[in-house]
Amino acid sequence: MSEPVFDIALDVLTKKYAALKAEKLNLDLTRGKPSEVQLALSNPMLENKNVFALDGSDCRNYGHLEGLPEARKLFGEYLGVPTQNVFVLGNSSLAVMHDLVVQMLMRPVPGEVRRWDAYHNLRNQPVMLCPTPGYDRHHAICEHYGIRMLPVPMKDGALDIDLVESLVQTERNVFGIWCVPKYSNPTGITYSLEVCERLANMEAPPGFRIFWDNAYAVHDLTEQSDELPNLFELCCRAKGSGRQEHREKEDRLFVIGSTSKITFASAGLAMLAASERNLAWFRQSLSVQTIGHDKLNQLWHVAFLKDMAGIRAHMAKHRAILKPKFDRVDEVLKRELSEFNFVRWNRPKGGYFVNLFVPKGRAKRVVELAGLLGVKLTPAGAAFPYGKDPDDSHIRIAPTFPPLSEVQKAMEVVALCIIIATYE
């Protein structure tokens, strides 16, 4: 970015600041939460009182550890995998990813002979590749279990696959990589076919796993959906190379999905898709962990969403609510910051976030100033491993939860704070 250019007088800024301060705002742009209006879209699901699955089984009772067959069919389609390659689980995809990490630490994944936790004792931490900016809760799992995070900064609006390939080859103990491959949290990036093909085909240790957190698979903000290549198919088709057998490439992938931002954030469904060997491995711990998940919720989800057409129609309603908010963020920033060349932001085609890049070393200050004016923002750096943005320039804006009027007001505050922080 070029040097900051100012043609605004300090006293104008001060007056604006004082005026906003007097409004005693209490606005929150911190987390990617659906709004009440969005949640209400799925209220018809609450009308369902059926308790019997298609196979006649009673969903109130124990059973179906892998998920209801009809749920596996629908969400297999949703994730682009055959029914037998998907489990439908509880209400939290984060819990699925957490549990996968824990199991990888505790016992060898298919193709590997050692459990990852064994490396800890050799004073060799397992290493997770973290495309940045990324999802803070992915990072929190790594931090909790002492997995060292290696940032992979996004490059030209894409995953830096050259760097990924090189790190997987040169770093010792590469445990895996976190990917939010479509409308990435928070960058909005969708992975290209080239990136996906190289992820499927690169050589990697047999214990390496791609955590393909496809959280925003159908969460478009425009009518033209980004097309995410089917990594599951690419991995199935990947040929062996070097010391790597074909099956190791098939096994390197965990696909994770969720309806938290389709139906109810706290009462949706999570799912895991993977090779049959991986699922058999996961089932071993799943079967000691639980007798089964809430199948009533699975049953009602299937009845409500029906099929992929039903999911798409439902998501169009979400889009109608969300698009104006994202448009408003863009409008306010354009209007307030058009004279300044030191701020850039993206206009995502899907997902839940807008990324603001302010001048280096100023992000923390912007967040602090906004806080003083009653606008809560996600802490600067939150999207980076260990909460450390090396440039202190990234701010994640989450405009989905507040009503449109609050989004507008909050963004006016943010814009002013950016100018002041840069002016300082």
* In the complex, least distance from residue 298 CB atom to its own copies, rounded to whole angstroms: 10
Is 275:254 a contact under the CB 8 Å cutoff? no
CA distance linking residue 127 with residue 179, whole number of Å: 15
Nearer to its own copies, 232 or 384 (CB): 384
Work out whether 405 is an interface residue with its own copies (CB under 8 A): no
CA distance linking residue 216 with residue 389, whole number of Å: 24
Query: Which of 28, 77, 117, 203 is the binder for its own copies (CB under 8 A)?
Result: 117
* In the complex, least distance from residue 263 CB atom to its own copies, rounded to whole angstroms: 8
* In the complex, least distance from residue 248 CB atom to its own copies, rounded to whole angstroms: 25
CA distance linking residue 385 with residue 209, whole number of Å: 18
CA distance linking residue 231 with residue 79, whole number of Å: 10
Nearer to its own copies, 166 or 287 (CB): 287
CA distance linking residue 252 with residue 232, whole number of Å: 10
Query: Which of 145, 281, 282, 384 is the binder for its own copies (CB under 8 A)?
Result: 145
* In the complex, least distance from residue 84 CB atom to its own copies, rounded to whole angstroms: 22
* In the complex, least distance from residue 417 CB atom to its own copies, rounded to whole angstroms: 26
CA distance linking residue 356 with residue 364, whole number of Å: 12
Total of residues contacting its own copies (CB under 8 A): 53
Site for its own copies in 159-198 (CB under 8 A): none
Site for its own copies in 286-345 (CB under 8 A): 287-297
CA distance linking residue 351 with residue 261, whole number of Å: 9
Nearer to its own copies, 166 or 284 (CB): 284
Structure tokens at 349: 């085609």
Nearer to its own copies, 24 or 49 (CB): 49
Q: How far apart are the first and last CA of the chain?
A: 18
3-state SS assignment for residue 354: strand
Helices and strands, number each (H, E), in the chain: 15, 12
Query: Which of 30, 201, 285, 346 is the binder for its own copies (CB under 8 A)?
Result: 285
Work out whether 62 is an interface residue with its own copies (CB under 8 A): yes
Residues 154, 400, 216, CA angle at the centre, nearest 5°? Answer: 50
Residues 213, 215, 217, CA angle at the centre, nearest 5°? Answer: 110
Site for its own copies in 76-105 (CB under 8 A): 90-92, 94-95, 98-99, 102, 105
Helix (H) or strand (E) holding 74: helix 69-79
Nearer to its own copies, 270 or 366 (CB): 270
Query: Which of 58, 194, 227, 331 is the binder for its own copies (CB under 8 A)?
Result: 58
Residues forming a β-bridge with 176: 128, 209
Report the interface residues with its own copies, using CB under 8 A: 31, 33-34, 36, 39, 42-43, 46-47, 49, 51, 58-63, 90-92, 94-95, 98-99, 102, 105-106, 117, 121, 137, 140-141, 143-145, 260, 264-267, 284-285, 287-297
